Chains A and B, each alone.
Chain A
Amino acid sequence: MKKNKVLILRTAGTNCDYETQSAFELCGIAVERVHISVLIENKSKIFEYDILVFPGGFSYGDDVASGKVLSNEIKNKLGSEVRKFALSGKPIIGICNGFQVLVKIGLLPDPELFTQVSTFSHNDYNKFECRWVYLKTGNKINNESNCIWTNKLPTIVSLPIAHGEGKFIPKNKSILNSLNKNNQIVFRYSSKDGNIPRYPLDPNGSVDNIAGICNKKGNVFGLMPHPERYIFHMQHPSRKNFTGKNHGWGKIIFQNAVDFVNR
């Protein structure tokens, strides 16, 4: 029987790959961290894997703009393979810097289009924001999200963020409308009780409080918060158990993808 495997793509400046590996391994799946140069040398290797991860960090020092140099490299050297992977329906996740890369290569919001239609800019308060935030989950906003990554999450979850360029900006109103219409906005920053947040609960001024989106099919998911930093309930600053088990909300996100590929 074929054993499912996760590919964590790393490069200069990646710094969340080990935690993400641990998170997936705790969900019972094999993980390999592969440098982008290795993948460029052997492009078809990508299809040996069942889940593709763009982890957090500061790829290439976030020079020019966050994720710009890495997205340029992927688009020009691995573009067709990554797009094919996404269109095959296999799960892809981009966390923080990885989300910025997915948006800048055009894999989000629509891998078929594969064109950049949204971007990120500096946080509204011109500061690097590193703390815990509340998120309203898309499943509960419309009960219709196709996102395979966010099943079984309650209305409000909390996860940590750490970014300086996290303000999500769609190109125009019609892109935003289409994200809403297709239930692609799966995470929005919110207050503890689910209301529209103000700074500091809204850390960056994202349009429509967007913190995470998926493609229409629901297999490609990008989010600014770091689910890999809330795998055990003791990682939460309150040390309380919100999930009823020993894990945090982050593990549910990874487990959803593992369950999906094991099905």
Chain B
Amino acid sequence: MFKIEVFTKEKFKNSKGELVLSDILSIGVRTILKVRYSPLYVIDGNVNYSEVRTLASELLSDKITETYVCKKCIVEDTVKNSKRDVVFFDDGEIPPPVGVCSTIKIWYKKNVTDPVSESILKAIKDLGIVKEFKVKRVGKYYLYGKISRITLHNITAKLLVNTLIQEYMVNGIYS
């Protein structure tokens, strides 16, 4: 299993992050100074590192405005077969950017169709990689500025997640 995280280069605008920051300000939270959004892709199947690098550079990131990190991770079968897939998205091995105080990760629940993942599977075949595997997509938000754990959960629940179809995980240095 591989994880690919795509980062917007610092000199370019991170539009989704800026939108979330303005939403956070609009609900009265003033201690967050910056938000950056990064999509994280979990590639699960019989692919090798070179194929994953091709996916990351040719398909999942933009050569001009974005950069990416690829990591191989080993997941026990018992975890793979569990009902919840939280562990899939615990990407502790990809270090957050400097200055980040909190992260929020959001993904679709099992059995909920993720249309973007479906498009990615089609595009991977177009790249000439014809193998059986799954793609899961996680939205990661990096928050700069300390907040309490309750506020972090409030931001997530009020602004970012639809708990009917999505799951989330938060990590942070709390004030």
Contact = CB atoms under 8 A, between A and B. Distances in A.
Interface of A: 60-61, 63-65, 68-69, 72-73, 76-77, 116, 118-119, 121-124, 126, 169, 171
Chain B, interface size: which category?
20 to 34
Select the residue from A64, A65, A72, A118 with max chain B CB neighbours within 10 A. A64
A178 to B, nearest CB: 16
Contact of A64 (B18, B59, B64): B59
B63 interface: yes
Contact of B126 (A63, A76, A119, A124): A76
Contacts of B19: 126
A124 B12 CA distance: 10
Given A61-B119, A64-B59, A72-B58, A171 B18 contact: no
13 contacts: A60-B119, A63-B115, A65-B62, A69-B119, A72-B58, A72-B123, A73-B123, A76-B128, A116-B63, A116-B64, A124-B13, A126-B18, A171-B63
Given A122-B15, A124-B13, A64 B63 contact: no
A255 to B, nearest CB: 34
Given A76-B126, A77-B126, A124-B13, A61 B64 contact: no
B171 interface: no
B30 interface: no
Main secondary structure of the interface of A (DSSP, over half): mixed
A64 B123 contact: yes
Nearest to B64: A119
A64 B126 contact: no
A116 B61 CA distance: 13
A64 B116 contact: yes
B151 to A, nearest CB: 23
Contact of A119 (B13, B60, B63, B115): B63
Contacts of A65: 62
A63 B64 contact: no
B132 to A, nearest CB: 20
B158 interface: no
A171 B11 CA distance: 12
A12 to B, nearest CB: 9
B15 A126 contact: yes
B13 A121 contact: yes
Contact of A169 (B59, B65, B120): B65
Contacts of B59: 64, 68, 72
Contacts of A124: 13
B65 to A, nearest CB: 5
B87 interface: no
